[in-house]
């Protein structure tokens, strides 16, 4: 009896293995069974890499608090994560990476924290710009830059200028960005054209609105990632995320790794996007 059970268990295993071999013809199946084994090979083999990933980098403050450090230490650590995520995204074939670095609502934070956050682009770019250039990364920004301190604007402009001809992954930094602000701006632009008689109300359609948004030349994000367990959009790309897949993780942004990125991509690859169809 015991032998028989053992035999039948083995037999089922053999069938499963044979099936797996036939279906996958490689070691992908074994990787898929072990989340820790996610690697580039698997991500790229599955195909369907998201072209554009948007990330809400949340949880810096909590990360610092857990360690008994001031909130700004979390932002500093969070900044350090960006490089490796850009590198990994680029490696697996992501074309655009939009990072929410500062929102139009973040001005409400204590002055010292805002000042610190405003120093991060300078810090990041003064250290990393040579590497970004070498890796063919194109830096772009999205948001109302006129309200940023002069030193922040200068650092960002320099990076944008010096990487404009790069053809690799686009690193789009959302700085003083708010989606409602962006939509108001777009409506005003359209309104101006109506006042001038260039347009009529009946001409307003989705394409026209989309073309008046910031970074209208970028495709809409395929995948949105938000870290730290919060599940909301916080005024981020409301129009552009209409059909994006969302992936949330409890991991705090300073702890976010390449492995987490690959896990998000792998989940995306298993989703069926229907865009309202069947």
Residues pairing with 173 in the sheet: 99, 141
Q: How many residues bind ligand FPP (CB under 6 A)?
A: 19
Stretch that binds ligand FPP, among 13-21, 55-63, 191-199, 214-222 (CB under 6 A): 55-63
Q: Is 75 in the site for ligand FPP (CB under 6 A)?
A: yes
Q: Could you say whether residue 173 binds ligand FPP (CB under 6 A)?
A: yes
Residue in the structure block whose two tokens are 């552009």:
240
Q: Which residue from 58, 222, 245, 258 is in contact with ligand FPP, where contact means CB under 6 A?
A: 58
Q: Please give the residues from 127 up to 156 whose contact with ligand FPP meets the rule CB under 6 A.
A: none
Cβ-based nearer residue to ligand FPP, 52 or 75? 75
234 is in an annotated binding site: yes
From 252, 232, 259, 265, select the one nearest 103 (Cα to Cα): 232
Helix 150-163 with 111-134: angle, nearest 10 deg: 20
Binding of ligand FPP by 50 (CB under 6 A):
no
Kindly report the length of the chain. Answer: 278
CA-to-CA separations, 223 to 45, 90, 177, 226, in angstroms, rounded:
18, 15, 19, 10
Can you say whether the dihedral through the CA atoms of 151, 140, 232, 73 is positive or negative? negative
- The CB-of-21 to ligand FPP minimum distance in angstroms stands at 44
CA angle 20, 24, 26 (to 5 degrees): 105
52 versus 76: smaller Cβ distance to ligand FPP: 76
By CB under 6 A, what part of segment 204-233 binds ligand FPP? 228
Give the catalytic positions in this structure. Answer: 58, 106
């Amino acid at each position: 009896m015991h032998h028989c059970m053992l035999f039948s268990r083995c037999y089922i295993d053999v069938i499963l293995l044979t099936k797996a071999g036939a279906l996958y013809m490689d070691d992908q199946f074994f990787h898929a069974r072990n989340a820790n084994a996610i690697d580039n090979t698997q991500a790229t083999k599955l195909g369907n890499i998201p072209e554009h990933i948007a990330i809400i980098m949340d949880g810096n403050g909590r990360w610092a608090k857990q360690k008994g450090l001031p909130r700004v230490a979390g932002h500093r650590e969070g900044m350090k994560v960006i490089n490796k995520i850009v590198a990994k995204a680029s490696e697996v074939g992501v074309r655009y990476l939009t990072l929410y670095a500062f929102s139009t609502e973040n001005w409400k934070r204590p002055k010292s924290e805002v000042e610190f956050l405003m120093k991060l682009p300078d810090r990041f770019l003064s250290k990393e710009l040579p590497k970004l250039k070498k890796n063919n990364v194109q830096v772009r920004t999205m948001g109302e830059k006129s309200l940023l301190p002069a030193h922040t604007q200068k650092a960002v402009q320099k990076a944008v200028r010096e990487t404009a001809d790069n053809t690799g992954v686009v690193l789009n930094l959302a700085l003083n960005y708010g989606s409602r602000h962006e939509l108001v701006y777009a409506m005003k632009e359209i309104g101006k054209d109506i006042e001038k008689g260039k347009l009529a109300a009946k001409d307003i359609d989705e394409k026209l609105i989309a073309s008046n948004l910031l970074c209208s030349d970028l495709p809409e994000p395929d995948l949105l990632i938000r870290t730290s367990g919060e599940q909301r959009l916080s005024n981020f790309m409301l129009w552009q995320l209409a059909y994006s897949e969302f992936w949330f993780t409890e991991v705090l942004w300073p702890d976010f790794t390449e492995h987490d990125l690959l896990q998000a991509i792998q989940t995306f690859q298993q989703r069926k996007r229907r865009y309202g169809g069947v």
